[in-house]
A and B are shown apart, each in its own frame.
Chain A
Amino acid sequence: DAGVIQSPRHEVTEMGQEVTLRCKPISGHNSLFWYRQTMMRGLELLIYFNNNVPIDDSGMPEDRFSAKMPNASFSTLKIQPSEPRDSAVYFCASRGTLRPYEQYFGPGTRLTVT
């Protein structure tokens, strides 16, 4: 299996622009998570889906952030409009049912908003 796939790996954009991050979970996994990692705040859970349905979005910072999971093999995290304080590494992770404490993380997208 290729693991969790994220794209792009790096994104540099200007303040005010729309940013879309993409994730393909591991085939057969039924849960998907979006995290944000910064030095100051550590690893923050933004939102997670179970069977393509959003279960907990309490970590989404504000209305500028939105996430979708139209099917079991694809999810997006959108930031519109982006701000410099959104600069971080964004991770997508997926989880199956055999070992529910094991989340498989993608390589991350490093976002820089100037």
Chain B
Amino acid sequence: QQQVKQSPQSLIVQKGGIPIINCAYENTAFDYFPWYQQFPGKGPALLIAIRPDVSEKKEGRFTISFNKSAKQFSLHIMDSQPGDSATYFCAAYQAGTALIFGKGTTLSVSS
């Protein structure tokens, strides 16, 4: 089924903490698994993306961990800051189609 399940729905962490957002999928034909970040009043924007043949990808403080056998992937934010407070969407892409987004996770980082 063409679905991406995301959890948790919301997350509150202290500054410096490591929030983790999880996603699961069913379709093994997906080519990329991107994460999008959305600030209030703005459209979502690409944060980081991973291919299914890679187990981990880091860009700055953001890391995607990918478990192909479990059909799961997660976003970790190292040393989280108040400026990271936003809604995060996982997504899945298959060639020739639109992105399939998860329901989103609202992250609040308190100072």
Contacts and interface: CB of A to CB of B under 8 A. Distances in A.
B44 A43 contact: yes
Interface in A76-93: 91, 93
A101 B103 contact: no
Q: Which of B43, B45, B93, B97 gathers most chain A CB within 10 Å?
A: B43
A42 B97 CA distance: 19
A101 B35 CA distance: 10
Interface of B: 31-32, 34, 41-46, 49, 89, 91, 93, 95, 97-99, 101, 103-104
Interface in A29-49: 31, 33, 42-43, 45, 48
A94 B93 CA distance: 14
Interface stretch (A11-19, A64-72, A103-111): A103-111
